[in-house]
Structure 1
């Protein structure tokens, strides 16, 4: 990833909660109750009404009170305010409330919690399970161990929406998997180890085939831009394919996901500054996101065909590494001048996008990458940037992102930026200067998607393409109710929700 400005790295946090479960056990020692502060009530803990009022809380969102011995079992209860006004009734308010409450209960020693899900089981499951994530399994001292917490909905709980508790657990597990992969040190998650972990996650799932390709296969396919990056590292490169055939017609056109899989980005010969470089263990965030989203799609058994493609390598300044000024040939024959070796992500994506769009006859192609520091500058940590040739695809992605509060913002994909990357000794230059860096990167990638219309229209049979630049949202420097500081795993839930709706869900 080409970063414009280095920033301080996040503190290392540590992995996915091992308690994600679909089991509904009623052996518990605590309750979690989101409340309307103006009219607190709970069918799970009836005494909350009086307890909350007597504690004289403020009406603000996420105000929390812990109450002890609320039943004959001596259970603990956390009551958390949803706030007031229209936002208090939103799924996001519930996610934040249960996220805040579950951490309070964990810190108080609770090990098995019953959640009063307030009618939205899906949001409650997502909020609790994301909030419990900790990446600390590399610590050896017992005192640093994170308490194990099992979370389940109240007996006979129902959801007002189409999605329930189990779907929320799957959504959260997949995002937490992406968070864990992104947090893992690069020496413990090489391209080879990444493929092994993904294969393990998919074990036992129906209608899934995983293929792990090697350097010889990439050479045979003519993936010269991918290999040009890989030759700078001593770690063997890998090309991962995940095929899920969930549609009634196994031969129906698939949705193709493409993820950037740079397991560590030193910048290559255009070496990055030392400050913040360790954050580049997460430069495979795109690969983690699309692989984890596909895992959720397979677990949910969505009636859709998906092909997920990930080129995996390190970007290192080895003796055979790319040099500024080199010209390389892409899989589709286009020539590319290397202006900056730290703009390597678009090189591996170029070959992968062409392979995916030409080999599998997709109706939709979505690539995801921690591609440009310019996106971090433009949108920060709130929105993930999207460039798309299709208005309908943008609308669908935006709707899915809003539903999960994993939001996107559309950016301009305009040929007017073309001269910045077309004026070189080759067909394309891999950078276009500081101005509109994210826009020129997206325009570069557009040259490698086969089947998209020449103009931004909805031509029948044309491939719909979106480029998702998650560089700004890859990590959280502040932390929120259900999102600790560190790698975020975004936009996994938005991708899963997009696929669910695309396959017929509402």
Structure 2
């Protein structure tokens, strides 16, 4: 919407043909349904002594109830500051509960220093906080959410906030997931686009939260067939014999531990998603405190499936491919060892320093194999290095790229979605130069092989990216996204993300592909 008015053209036309009634005329609901409403209110300079300024939709509702909304806000004490909420009951017979969220100062926009459109992010957080509060405190059947001036962002925040992973809970212990509706705004197309983006991120969250014993490589492949097949996307599942014929030695070595079959799966897309459905570290076993997050190592593949489904749902005119190397990294008598030398699909040999760095091995084969399709560019995504989280926290996804233009497109998408990227260097230092300390390993300086999959060292995210870059053909544009720092949410930093898997940066990738479709037109 913000990057190009026509980028969702076919999707928009279909919606306009389907919905001919303005949503404001569909407010009346059944008497047995529990219905909530989310509205906003501004405070100048976020000062509680200032007068409240209601949003356009909140003002319309206040007029509808003869000014009782403003009366209740002032009667409840100081007006809500940014991020605070007031919930009122009995204001209108159509709504069992009305949540008013403080939005602070009205004068917010794009912040160059923060590299974010703060107005849109404020809307996501406001909508998310309102929906979460009504959902947690009331068993809502329907929650109406105003647009706050940008229906797409409101839909994103509301839908992500309402999502809860409870697939394995009994019915009587599950939280009710309300139906979300747009209130007093006819921009239904933007609302639906936001819901589709949120649905993509929620699918990533759902798959990442699924226990590894239920989402094995084969189960993941079957899920991809089921989910993407419904979107008329061709899914081709390849087994171990195919990988052997294609010479995917790095992928086969990393997946040798478990007895489950391996699946380097490719679909029409441009994404490569790391798909380690459980990563124990192999023979270089992780510490027990880290093992509980072993299932998170497949979030890159989950994201690829979710993004691909969204690209289809939004009817983006793109011809793309996707490769998902799926396996588990477990210790066994068949597992690969530190010191092993393996041959990748492009003929390069790699010496293994640490079996816990299995994801890199699967990705290098996927990158090299992807070049057979001669794509314009390659995008790979996955949880790779914990140092990314230590450096940036949950603030941004770490990106490496050999193309300034490709990174700028991805960065712009992150500014629009509020899910930012920060670029780390891809200097030759990390590939060629020996360090001042033996704790730093070179990617290409090996006495026994063409390349080294480096052990833990200073600059680990950069040496990891340098290792992957060795398998990108000269002149081919490539970007690597390390999601280790953003893969999980603490439940408080973003009001629209509950504690657990975050699904980030799914929406940024969807927006990135939407911008490509826009530029193509």
TM-score strictly above 0.5: yes
1:469 correspondence with 2:498: no
| 1-structure distance, mates of 2:460, 2:40 | 44
1:171-182 residue pairs with structure 2 within 5 A? Answer: 171-182=197-208
How far off its partner does 1:478 sit?
4.6
1:30 is matched with which residue: 36, 57, 69?
36
Query: How much does 1:141 deviate?
Result: 6.5
Confirm or deny: 8 A CA contact 1:57 1:63 kept in the other structure: no
2:228 is the alignment partner of 1:202 = yes
Cα distance in 1 between the residues matched to 2:262 and 2:477: 29
Q: Counterparts of 1:70-219 in structure 2 under 5 Å?
A: 70-73=91-94, 75-84=96-105, 86-87=107-108, 90-106=119-135, 107-140=137-170, 142=172, 144-158=173-187, 164-206=190-232, 208-219=233-244
Identify the structure with the greater helix proportion. Answer: 2
**Structure 1: how far apart are the matches of 2:331 and 2:306?**
30
Tell me, yes or no, if the aligned pair for 1:324 and 1:340 is still in contact at 8 Å.
yes
Shift of 1:59: 4.7
The answer for the alignment partner of 1:247 in structure 2 is none
Can you give the 5+ residue segments of structure 1 that lack an aligned partner in the other structure? 1-21, 245-255, 454-462
1:378 correspondence with 2:378:
no
The answer to whether the 8 Å contact 2:268/2:321 transfers is: yes
RCO comparison, higher one (Cα < 8 Å, 6+): 1
Asked if 1:398 corresponds to 2:411, the answer is yes
Residues 4-15 of structure 1 correspond to what in structure 2 (within 5 A)?
none
Q: Is the 8 A contact 2:229 2:235 kept in 1?
A: no
What residue is the counterpart of 1:252 in the other structure? none
Q: CA contact under 8 A between 1:264 and 1:315: conserved in structure 2?
A: yes
Q: Which runs of 5+ in 2 are unaligned?
A: 1-17, 44-51, 110-117, 433-441
What is the match of residue 65 of structure 1?
Answer: 86
Q: Show CA shifts across 1:416-437 (max 9, x none).
A: 1124122222111111541100
Note closer, same or farther for the CA distance 1:74–1:367 as it changes in structure 2 (3 Å cut): closer
Alpha-carbon distance in 1 for matches of 2:321, 2:499: 31
Tell me which of 330, 336, 339 is aligned to 1:322.
Answer: 336
Q: Deviation digits for residues 51-82 of structure 1, max 9, x if unmatched?
A: 32332334521211111112133532111111
How many residue pairs get aligned? The number is 458
TM-score (norm 2): 0.84
Is the contact between residue 88 and residue 97 of structure 2 (CA under 8 Å) also seen in structure 1? yes
The TM-score normalised by the length of structure 1 is 0.87
Cα distance, 1:481 vs. partner? 0.5
Report the Cα distance in structure 2 between the residues aligned to 1:326 and 1:123, rounded to whole angstroms: 49
State how 1:430-445 maps to structure 2 within 5 Å. 430-445=453-468
Among 260, 264, 270, the alignment partner of 1:235 is: 260
SS at match of 1:381: coil
Provide the C-alpha distance between the structure 2 equivalents of 1:140 and 1:30, rounded to a whole number of angstroms: 25
Distance 1:123 1:433 in 2: 40
In structure 1, C-alpha distance between the alignment counterparts of 2:339 and 2:229, rounded to whole Å: 44
SS of residue matched to 2:325 = strand
User: In the alignment, which of 69, 76, 92 is matched to residue 55 of structure 1?
Assistant: 76
Q: Is the 8 A contact 1:183 1:282 kept in 2?
A: yes
Distance apart, 1:157 and its partner CA: 2.9
Counterpart residue number, 2:445: 423
Aligned to 2:251: 226
In the TM superposition, what is the alpha-carbon distance from 1:286 to its structure 2 partner?
A: 0.9
3-state SS of paired residue (1:367): strand
3-state DSSP of counterpart to 1:368: strand
Indicate if the aligned counterparts of 1:349 and 1:445 stay in contact, CA closer than 8 A. yes
Q: 1:74 to 1:390 in 2, by over 3 A?
A: closer
Give 1:177 shift: 0.4
How many Å separate the matches in 2 of 1:116 and 1:276? 41
Give the direction of change, closer, same or farther, for the CA distance of 1:259–1:199 in structure 2 (3 Å limit): same
Report how far residue 379 of structure 1 moved. Answer: 1.7
Structure-2 change in CA distance of 1:74 and 1:311 (3 Å): closer
Q: Secondary structure in 2 aligned to 1:377?
A: helix
* TM-fit CA distance, 1:202: 1.9
SS, match of residue 39 in structure 1: strand
Instruction: Specify the alignment match of 2:48 in structure 1.
Output: none
Q: Secondary structure at the match of 2:426?
A: coil
State the match for 1:13 in structure 2. Answer: none
- Give per-residue Cα distances to partners, 1:130-182, cap 9 Å, x unaligned: 0011112212372x2111301110244338xxx70000110001100000111
Contact 1:59 1:84 in 2 (8 A): no
What residue is the counterpart of 2:321 in the other structure? 307
Residue by residue, what CA displacement relative to the aligned partner does 1:340-393 show, whole Å, maximum 9, x if unpaired? 000111100010001112x21111111001011222222221110000001111
Distance 1:224 1:325 in 2: 15
